[in-house]
Structure formats: C-alpha cells, structure tokens
Amino acid sequence: MASEKAIKQKARLSNSNLLFLIASVIFVLMYLFAIISYPGSFLQFQTFFDLFNLNAPLIIMTFGLCIVMIGGGIDISIGSVCGLVTMACAVYLEKRSGSIAGAILLSMGIGILFGILHGYLIAYLEIQPFIITLSGLFLAQGLLTTLHKNPLNVTMPAFVNLRDFNIVITWLGTRNRLGVFIPCQIKPGTIIVAVLLVIFASLMKWSRFGRNVYAVGGNSHSAMMLGINVKRTKFITYVISGLTAGIAGFVYIMTTGAGNIGNAAGAEMKAIASAIMGGTLLNGGVGNLLGAPIGTLTLLVINELIRAAGVQSNFQAIVSGLLLYLFIILQSIIMSLRDRKRFTVALPPWLHLSGKGQA
C-alpha cells in the first residue's frame, strides 16, 4: 500500500506542468478553430512560422519575465528597455558606423546594466519590484528620446543583408493560386527563440539555480531556512530579465531594420499576459518556461482571428483583456481545488515535463 501511494504521488502532475498542459490544450483548440474558420490563411505553414518571425522579440522578453515571475517578482520595464536598445543600436550602426558584433554587445550590455540596477535595488535593498521597474521604465523611455527623437533607418549594407536574410525550407511550403510552390521562410529571430528556449528551460529544470527560483517564489522564508541565498537568486532573475530585454531589442531592430520611439511600446503588458496565459502564476513559485511561447502564440492567434474577421483593432484589446481575466480565474480555481485535494491529475512518468523542484 505504501509503495502504491508513493508511486501515485510521484506520478502526480506538478502545478507548473498542469497549467502548462491546460495552456497547450487551449492553444491547440484555438488554432484548430482558426484553421477551420479561415483555412486559406491559417492552414499555410508560413502563417504559423510568421507568428514566430514577426513576434520573436515578445517571446524572448516573455522568457525573462517568466523567470522573474516564478521567483515572485515582476518587471514592467522590459518593453522600454527593448525600445531603448533598438534606438541605441540604430544610432550606433547608422551614425557611428559601428559593427554588428558591437551592436550585439551594446544591446546585451544595456539590458544587463538595467538588470543589475533593478536586481540590486529589489533583492538587496528590498524595495518593491513594481516601483523599481516602473522607475526603470521611465528612465529607459527618457534615454530613448534623448538618443534620437525621430525614427532612424539603418542602411549599413552588412546589416541590411542580415535584416533580409531568411532560412528557406525548400521541402515545406504551400502553393499559391497560380500553382507555384512557395517554400517556407524562417527569420534568424525564430532560431534565437528556439536556442533561448532550450537554454532557459534546461536552466530552470535541471540546474540548482532553477530549483532555487521555484523555492524562493513559493516561499522565500522557507527557502532561506533551507540555506538558499534568496537575495542572490532574486538578483540573478532580474539580470536575466534585463539580458533578455536587450537581446529582444537587437532582434527587434534586426527584424524591422529601424530604431523608433514606438518600438516595443506596451510590450511589457503583452509579455505579462503571455506569461500568465502560458501557466505562470503572478504570486510566484509556479510556471513552466515552455509555456512562454505557448502563451504568446495564444495571444497572437486571438489577435489574428479578430483581424481576419474584419473587426476593429480596438476589439483586440477587449478580447485579450477578457481572455486574461479567464486565465487568471481558471488558474485560481485550479490551484484552490488542488490545495483542497479535490482536483488531481496523474500521468505516467514518461509524460513528465519538469523536475521535482517545481511546485
């Protein structure tokens, strides 16, 4: 009896993976609905890849934000930091005749500096993360307008070649109305998303740091009693968030080819919504990095469905807000039922997506 009970406990799906599983099912059902409703658009492979090609910066920012939220924090400055990076890279490449390698280092450096500043003030001085990252939002916006007030296109030949570079999948594509086969194209930003997903998902699943983040987000006092350096863990989560915002900024300008004051405006709110829809709880301790792209894609498919239906653009925000309400309420109900042991899900070990450290 005891051994059977232990097996059942081991096979019980964690909260992080349960919410990720629910988010995945919702996304699949929504995309199937989109295919059925608008087969001419959503049935094409290129349409699916374009969700990544055109929105890679948002997904990258969501990675960092998910790690911060799992650790019990929040970062609302990432959109402005991303915008600042795009303009800084544009000025560096166009006005200073800089190199692409230098622009990459510049973007990562700006992001890391903001992450260090926020992480130190939040983790070591114990100031509320919302206040600190709100200050960072205003600081990044001010620096952005100081650098250059007007949109700035980058015309450097090497960068233009990078902007226009596509990875062509010759065996995968669709035929147009004339019967001409058009292969799928993938932007470098999509490859960066895939690489970062593997890195961060592995970091959160198998590393001691990942287990510490889950422990700190679940209960920081208990984590401290277990010997975990809570302050250092929180500090590193904000450094990672700043780093991903910097990388997202370079991917953004690599996609659009220009620095603009409006670049990534409001992206922090979209990233928060994407993280929640992907199964990350706002109160920390629960989340799965694999859910970051799932939540982002869910949000994007909703917007594409509304656009395909010919509805006014302001209706996108209304539906996205209502859906966010739904996800938050659904998460609250599931967590409440699980705490009362009225809602359990058991899966065979080969279906497990995460380690034991996740709540």
Give the pLDDT confidence of 263-291 residue by residue, as tens digits: 666 788 889 989 988 888 888 888 889 99
**Alpha helices for the chain (secondary structure H):** 2-11, 15-37, 39-42, 45-53, 56-70, 78-94, 100-119, 129-147, 157-164, 188-206, 208-218, 220-225, 230-256, 267-277, 291-308, 314-339
Q: Which residues, 6+ apart, have CB-to-CB distance to 153 below 8 Å?
A: 90, 94, 257, 258
Cα gap 257→233, rounded to integer Å: 36
**Does 354 map to a domain?**
no
Residue 185 has pLDDT above 70, yes or no: yes
- The predicted structure's pLDDT at residue 21: 86
Residue 103's pLDDT band, with cuts at 50, 70 and 90, is very high
Residue 171 has pLDDT above 70, yes or no: yes
- The predicted structure's pLDDT at residue 247: 96
Cα gap 234→126, rounded to integer Å: 10
**Cα 122–chain centre separation:** 21
For the chain, what is the domain count? 1
**Does 7 map to a domain?**
no
**Does 109 map to a domain?**
yes
Q: Between 338 and 153, where is the model more confident?
A: 153
Q: Which residues, 6+ apart, have CB-to-CB distance to 96 below 8 Å?
A: none
Cα gap 279→22, rounded to integer Å: 8
Average pLDDT over residues 54-83: 94
Cα gap 281→269, rounded to integer Å: 15
Supply the range of the domain harboring residue 212.
15-342
- The predicted structure's pLDDT at residue 109: 96
CB-CB neighbours of 222 under 10 Å = 12
CATH of the domain at 51: 1.10.3470
Residue 326 has pLDDT above 80, yes or no: yes
**Does 304 map to a domain?**
yes
- The predicted structure's pLDDT at residue 251: 94
Task: Tell me how far CA of residue 34 lies from CA of 96, 176, 215, in angstroms.
Answer: 46, 20, 39
Q: Between 330 and 219, where is the model more confident?
A: 219
**Does 297 map to a domain?**
yes
Residue 313's pLDDT band, with cuts at 50, 70 and 90, is low
Residue 293's pLDDT band, with cuts at 50, 70 and 90, is very high
pTM for the full predicted model: 0.88
Cα gap 247→62, rounded to integer Å: 12
Q: Between 355 and 199, where is the model more confident?
A: 199
**Does 358 map to a domain?**
no
Structure token pair of residue 233: 């863990």
Q: Between 261 and 121, where is the model more confident?
A: 121
**Does 171 map to a domain?**
yes
Q: In sequence order, what are the beta bridge partners of 168? A: 185
Q: Between 168 and 200, where is the model more confident?
A: 200
Q: Between 6 and 22, where is the model more confident?
A: 22
**Cα 211–chain centre separation:** 20
- The predicted structure's pLDDT at residue 338: 65
DSSP, res 43: T
Cα gap 230→241, rounded to integer Å: 17
Residue 157 has pLDDT above 70, yes or no: yes
Residue 148 has pLDDT above 70, yes or no: yes
Average pLDDT over residues 309-321: 72
**Does 355 map to a domain?**
no
> 239: closest CA among 31, 67, 28?
67
Residue 11 has pLDDT above 70, yes or no: no
Q: Which letter, b or e, does each residue of 334-358 get, where b requires 16 or more Cβ atoms within 10 Å of its Cβ? A: bbeebeeeeeeeeeeeeebbbeebb
Average pLDDT over residues 122-126: 94
End-to-end alpha carbon distance in the chain = 25
Residue 244 has pLDDT above 90, yes or no: yes
